[in-house]
Structure 1
Amino acid sequence: MTVQLNHTIVAAHDKRASARFLADVLGLEVSEPYGPFLPVEIPNGVTLDYLETDEDIAPQHYAFLVSEDEFDSIFGRVRAAGLTYWADPFHHRPGEINHHDGGRGTYFDDPNGHRLEILTRPYGSGG
């Protein structure tokens, strides 16, 4: 059996707004609710299942490997939405993208403070 990530739960104060934010930025769809979860399926079959909570949320990091064309489209939506973006996960280089391993990458936050990343080359892949 091959081990594959199938889904992960993403805590949100407003699961509908948070799922819609991710889907809109990445150019995806929000799926039908599944129990208390509101899923957003990524094209490789992994689902991010948004779960609403009133508790404090510890920000998590979610990185999405995208093509060069997808990067352009997603980054365009990030900028059009007026989102702050950074070249690094620590928010030290605002308004920049990185070019690690010959690709492009950038970070931006979702409404709950989760750190989202889009990158065109896996880190450590050379370039």
Structure 2
Amino acid sequence: MAIELDHLIVPAHDKIASAKLLAELLDVRWSPTGTGPFAPVFVNDGLTIDFDTWPAPIPLTHYCFRVSQQEFDAIRERIAAKGIPYRSSVFGPVDNAVGKWNDGSIVYWNQPDGHQWEILTVSYAR
């Protein structure tokens, strides 16, 4: 059997708002309740992101999704439509621009809890 990531627990000040926002941006299903205390986002058939309400401070974490160019364009449009600032570089200023890496597209944004999210079309890890 191939090794697959099944689920992640992501801390949040408001698990329902965080789960709903990510699900809307990615255009995937979510639920305000799940197994245990979590608000799950069903990224695909194999991966669930379980948001959990934690007290402050929330540790900064980084999550990246590799998507097709068509999915990338749609997600970036939803980010912009919600007025979420985004940037083309992981450490750069907000420029509301698409970065280019290895002939692919890349965008970073932060969620209100401080988590850094990324979408890219070509992995730089492989």
Compute the TM-score of the two structures, normalised by the length of structure 1.
0.90
Structure 2 residue matching 1:35: 3-state secondary structure: coil
C-alpha distance 124-63 of structure 1, shift in aligned 2 (>3 A): closer
Residue type of the alignment partner of 2:2:
T
In angstroms, what is the RMSD of aligned CA positions?
1.5
3-state SS, counterpart of residue 83 of structure 1 = coil
TM-superposed deviation, 1:111:
1.8
> Does 2:99 correspond to 1:89?
no
Work out whether residues 13 and 112 of structure 1, in 8 Å CA contact, stay in contact via their aligned partners in 2: yes
Tell me the residue number matched to 1:101.
102
Query: Percent identity, aligned pairs only?
Result: 39
Please say if 1:121 is aligned against 2:114: no
Q: Specify the SS of the correspondent of 2:18.
A: helix
Q: Confirm or deny: 8 A CA contact 1:101 1:124 kept in the other structure.
A: no
Contact 1:39 1:50 in 2 (8 A): yes
Report what 1:46 is aligned to.
47
Q: Would you identify which runs of 4 or more consecutive aligned residues in structure 1 move more than 3 Å?
A: none
Distance 2:56 2:86 in 1: 26
Partners of 2:64 and 2:118 within 8 A in 1: yes
Q: What residue number does 2:15 align with?
A: 15
* TM-score, reference length from structure 2: 0.91
In the alignment of these two chains, the number of paired residues is 125
* Structure with the bigger percentage of strand: 2
Q: CA separation in 2, counterparts of 1:44 and 1:89?
A: 28
Counterpart check, 1:4 vs 2:4: yes
Q: Show CA shifts across 1:9-64 (max 9, x none).
A: 10000000000010001111113421111111212511111010122011110101
Q: What does residue 58 of structure 1 align with?
A: 59
What is the letter of the counterpart of residue 30 of structure 2? V
Alpha-carbon distance, 1:2 to partner: 2.6
